């Protein structure tokens, strides 16, 4: 949100196209820094060589948040040594040096997941409060870096499109268009609502930082089967300065929340996983970490969403009642070891079951019922999440706890979220009503 370029032309000339009169730059951060979200400007008009023409343009600019949205741009705080000033700064220049914040505490706060490990086993690592990262406020956590000279330099913008999930539509053939520095590149056409792309695009630019950092990057998903103007499925946009202000000048393997560019209140339009890098003179491209499994990836904490698009908090409550006829998992050798150390032998119930539930990178455990092949837990596990969720499956696993060796998996089942939390409409034939008993004849 560094600024906006406003060209001025003379309309309706006698002959030929409109005549260029001049241009001016509007510092939009000054608008967001006022309590009323409005500001007046008296700006000089510049010619094509960025020299003054002697004319001025009087403007009044206001920011109107989307209907129902909470104002997301608080007034800028006065310069203070306190670290809170970095959180309120929404327009830090790329040349400023700031104190880095904790990378795990950014964006809007979400409810942390409460995981309790089974007794006797190594407890899971403490789960930090989950967040929903937003483009708002990210510039306040940039790492200290050397100022860039305000002269034309070589920059490279890299965009890697990895995969998409939950794109709306039926029988769609999505293609991703990436627009940066005035150039547009497209991925190959895929099929389905959750396609995999894994394509990388390079944009080489020779511009000054003040010019380049205000340039937007558009990542748009369109349906290639439709030639209508409304074939856009969803879009995400950011400016180059937002990416360059990040540590290592990159967003690595981030999920983007797509939205309708014409109506932000329409909600989520799918998700897209990308890596975006902006490399300047002397910068080296950071290495992406090895892909973690879907069950271990905390997707909701790795989500970038545009300002004005919100997700609703939700809780999935899984009630665990009982299991029957669980198989024996401990062998006779373990049973003999127990007898040597004075434990009672019980070959019929050589299983200590507990239930492990994993969803969106979070894991919860039930209590352990020792030596019980027919356990009855009667326990409710609650998983906090954001709705609509981009995670499709909840993994439910029954595990045999073992004090001496590693835990053994008894069995695993998966529960599809689309079967229990559809965003709209009714699910047909998923839970058919039981037949009514026939009425007794007189």
Give the DSSP per-residue string, 363-396: EEE----TT-SS-EEEEEEEEEEEES-S--EEEE
> Is residue 127 included in any domain, yes or no?
no
193 near 172, Cβ under 8 Å? yes
Cα–Cα dist 366/373, whole Å: 16
Structure tokens at 416: 């599809």
Whether 375 and 351 share a structural domain:
yes
Tokens 């004849």, located at residue: 441
Beta strands in 63-110 (DSSP E): 108-109
Do 332 and 299 share a domain, yes or no? Answer: no
37 inside domain: yes
Render 121-140 in DSSP notation, one character per residue.
SPPPPPPPPPEE-BSTTGGG
Q: pLDDT per residue over 272-307, tens digit each? A: 999 999 998 888 888 887 666 665 666 666 788 776
Whether 306 and 345 map to the same domain: the answer is no
pLDDT of residue 23: 83
Q: Is the pLDDT at 56 greater than 90, yes or no?
A: no
Q: Kindly state whether residues 155 and 265 are assigned to the same domain.
A: yes
Residues 302 and 323 in one domain: no
Pairing of strands 376-387, 312-322: antiparallel
Return the minimum-mean-pLDDT range out of 68-77, 152-161, 254-263, 281-290: 68-77
Q: Does 117 fall in a domain?
A: no
| Residue range 412-433, pLDDT digits in tens | 898 877 677 655 444 444 445 5
Residue 197 banded pLDDT, cuts 50, 70, 90: very high
Compare 161 and 297 and report the one with higher pLDDT: 161
**C-alpha to C-alpha distance for 340 and 331, rounded to whole angstroms:** 15
d(CA 140, CA 37): 20
Average predicted confidence (pLDDT) for the chain: 72
Q: Is pLDDT of 163 > 90? A: yes
Does residue 260 share a domain with residue 161?
A: yes
Q: Are residues 270 and 356 in the same domain?
A: no
Query: How many other C-beta atoms lie within 10 A of the C-beta of residue 66?
Result: 14
- 334 and 303 part of one domain: no
Predicted confidence (pLDDT) at residue 177 exceeds the cutoff of 90: yes
DSSP code for 341: T
- Residue 282: the pLDDT is 86
Q: Where are the beta strands (DSSP E) in 183-298?
A: 183-186, 196-207, 216-223, 232-239, 250-260, 263-279
State yes or no: cis peptide before 388, omega within 30 of 0: yes
In the three-class reduction of DSSP (H, G, I as helix; E, B as strand; rest coil), residue 22 is classed as strand
**Which structural domain range is residue 157 located in?**
133-285+293-310
pLDDT, residue 378, reads 93
Q: What is the pLDDT of residue 86?
A: 38
Q: Which spans in 245-359 are helix H?
A: 332-340
* Chain centroid, CA 237 distance in Å: 13
Burial 337-352 (b: 16+ CB within 10 A, else e): ebeeeeeeeeeebbbb
Q: What share of the chain is helix, strand, coil (3-state, %, to 5)?
A: 10, 40, 50
The whole-angstrom separation of Cα 197 and Cα 1 is: 30
Q: Distance (Å, rounded) from C-alpha 205 to C-alpha 279?
A: 10
Tokens of 342: 């004075």
Q: In this structure, how many other beta carbons lie within 10 angstroms of the beta carbon of residue 362?
A: 23
Q: What percent of the chain has pLDDT over 70?
A: 59
Supply the pLDDT for residue 103.
Answer: 41
CA 318, 297, 393 angle in degrees (round to 5)? 40
Question: Position of tokens 């409409």?
Answer: 425
Q: Check whether residue 317 and residue 302 sit in a common domain.
A: no
Given a cut of 70, whether residue 141 has pLDDT beyond it is no
The DSSP code sequence of 158-212 is EEEEEEEE---SSS--EEEEEEETTEEEEPPP--SSS-EEEEEEEEEEEE-HHHH
Q: Evaluate if residue 257 carries a pLDDT over 70.
A: yes
- Do 323 and 390 lie in one domain? The reply is yes
The pLDDT of residue 426 is 43
- The rounded percent of the chain whose pLDDT value lies above 90 is 19
Shared domain for 297 and 152, answered yes or no, is: yes
| 318 domain-assigned | yes
Q: Same domain, yes or no, for 179 and 47?
A: no
Q: Is residue 138 part of a domain?
A: yes
Question: Shortest CA distance to 88 belongs to which of 97, 96, 78?
Answer: 78
Of 140-154, 166-180, 359-373, the one with minimum mean pLDDT is 140-154
> What CATH number should be reported for the domain holding residue 262?
2.60.40.150
Task: Evaluate whether residue 90 is within a structural domain.
Answer: no
Q: Which of 237, 185, 245, 187 is nearest to 215 (CA)?
A: 237
Kindly give, in sequence order, each residue whose CB lies less than 8 Å from that of residue 314, ignoring residues fewer than 6 positions away. Answer: 384, 385, 386, 387, 389, 421
d(CA 135, CA 238): 8
Q: How far apart are CA 290 and CA 220, in angstroms?
A: 26
Q: Which residues pair with 44 in a beta bridge?
A: 56
Q: pLDDT by residue (tens digit) across 89-114? A: 444 343 344 444 444 433 343 343 34
Q: Is the pTM of this model over 0.85?
A: no
pLDDT classification of 198: cutoffs 50, 70, 90: very high
**Does residue 224 lie within any of the structural domains?**
yes
The residue among 345, 353, 364, 346 whose CA lies nearest residue 325 is: 353
Cα separation, 76 vs 106, in Å, equals 18
- Kindly tell me if the per-residue pLDDT of 196 is higher than 90: yes
pLDDT in tens, 299-344: 666 788 776 666 666 778 889 999 988 887 765 555 566 666 666 5
> Reduced to 3 states, what is the DSSP secondary structure of residue 115?
coil
Number of domains observed in the structure of the chain: 3
**Gap between the Cα atoms of 179 and 217, Å rounded:** 6
């Amino acid at each position: 949100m560094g600024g906006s370029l406003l060209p001025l032309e003379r309309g309706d000339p006698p002959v030929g196209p409109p005549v260029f009169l001049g241009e001016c730059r509007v510092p939009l951060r000054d608008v967001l820094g006022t309590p009323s979200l409005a500001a007046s400007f008296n700006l000089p008009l510049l010619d094509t060589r960025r020299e003054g023409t002697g004319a001025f343009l009087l403007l009044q600019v206001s920011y109107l948040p989307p209907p129902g949205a909470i104002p997301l741009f608080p007034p800028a705080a006065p310069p203070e040594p306190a670290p809170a000033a970095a959180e309120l700064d929404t327009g830090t220049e790329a040349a400023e040096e700031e104190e880095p914040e904790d990378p795990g505490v950014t964006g809007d706060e979400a409810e942390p997941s409460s995981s309790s490990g089974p007794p006797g086993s190594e407890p899971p690592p403490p789960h930090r409060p989950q967040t929903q990262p937003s483009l708002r406020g990210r510039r306040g956590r940039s790492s200290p870096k050397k100022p860039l000279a305000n002269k034309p330099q070589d920059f490279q913008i890299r965009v890697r499109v990895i995969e998409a999930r939950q794109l709306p539509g039926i029988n769609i053939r999505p293609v991703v268009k990436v627009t940066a520095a005035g150039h547009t590149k497209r991925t190959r056409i895929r099929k389905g609502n959750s396609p995999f792309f894994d394509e990388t695009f390079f944009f080489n630019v020779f511009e000054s930082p003040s010019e380049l950092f205000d340039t937007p990057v558009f990542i748009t998903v369109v349906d290639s089967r439709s030639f209508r103007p409304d074939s856009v499925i969803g879009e995400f946009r950011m400016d180059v300065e937002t990416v360059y202000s990040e540590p290592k000048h990159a967003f690595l393997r981030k999920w983007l929340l797509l939205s309708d560019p014409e109506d932000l209140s329409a909600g989520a339009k799918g998700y897209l996983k990308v890596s975006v890098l902006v490399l300047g003179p002397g910068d080296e491209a950071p290495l992406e970490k090895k892909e973690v499994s879907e069950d271990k990836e905390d997707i909701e904490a790795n989500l970038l969403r545009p300002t004005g698009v919100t997700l609703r908090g939700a809780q999935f409550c899984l009630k665990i009642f009982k299991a029957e006829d669980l198989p024996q998992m401990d062998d006779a050798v373990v049973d003999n070891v127990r007898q040597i150390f004075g434990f009672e032998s019980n070959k019929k119930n050589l299983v200590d079951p507990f239930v492990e539930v994993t969803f969106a990178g979070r894991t919860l455990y039930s209590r352990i019922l020792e030596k019980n092949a027919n356990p009855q837990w009667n326990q409710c596990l609650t998983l906090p999440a954001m709705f609509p969720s981009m995670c499709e499956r909840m993994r439910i696993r029954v595990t045999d706890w073992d004090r001496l060796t590693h835990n053994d998996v008894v069995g695993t089942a998966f529960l599809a979220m689309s079967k229990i939390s559809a965003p709209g409409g009714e699910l047909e034939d998923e839970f058919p009503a039981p037949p009514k008993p026939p009425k007794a004849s007189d």
